[in-house]
Amino acid sequence: MSEFSSKLEKVASSIHKSVELTVLNLTNEDDFVTQSKSTYTYLMKILSSHELDHQAYIKCIDQCKSNPYAGAFEKDFRNLTRNITTDVKDSKRYKDFEKFVDAAYKRDLGEASTSSEGMTVTESLQRTDPFTKKPIVNPVRHKVCNHVYDKDSLANIIKLNARVRCPYVGCTNKERLRMVDVVQDVGMRIRLATEAESNDDESDSD
């Protein structure tokens, strides 16, 4: 992974985490919801646009490599880059983020997330890792389908089977699971920690 790609992934991950932190304190105030969603979507749009431009320039460089003359290389490169046009709507990263942010806001505003088959996935179902069937300790959320897994569990299953797909019933995401496609679910981690503290307090009072 190039330095540019590495930094881009860090920024993208930060935006995802910011969304999770924001939705923790959401209310049904339409103005705030609309404004915060628009802000994060705009940031990801800019990031995705830079990524597309970078990919286009790299492709131009590869096309010019066959020319051994520096002057000719520069001329070819200028001609190719002059015609570069990119559309963020073609960015998989941006399209995935739109799905992620919509699902995140709906989830934390108390709206159920429903798959195309009509299967309703509730937050309570996602407290258990779908692979180990054990309580989730370190939650990560998929950027596309918005489902939650335990990070260690997911990493282990991917090592065993690189073609594994999301196991949630009714999930419309047919792509294989990859660690680069999940982000830490800060919001759920805080909720789980809060619940654990609450349970400890109840046990102490008993």
Task: Label residues 90-120 b or e (16+ Cβ within 10 Å = b).
Answer: ebebbebbebbbebbbebbeeeebeeeeeee
Q: What is the average pLDDT value for the chain, to the nearest integer? A: 78
pLDDT (tens digit per residue) in 84-97: 888 888 898 898 88
Between the alpha carbon of residue 197 and those of residues 82, 85, 127, 136, 192, the distances in Å are: 59, 53, 16, 16, 9
Query: Residue for token digits 């806001």?
Result: 105
pLDDT at 47 over 80: yes
Average pLDDT value for residue range 38-56: 89
pLDDT band at 206, cuts 50/70/90? low
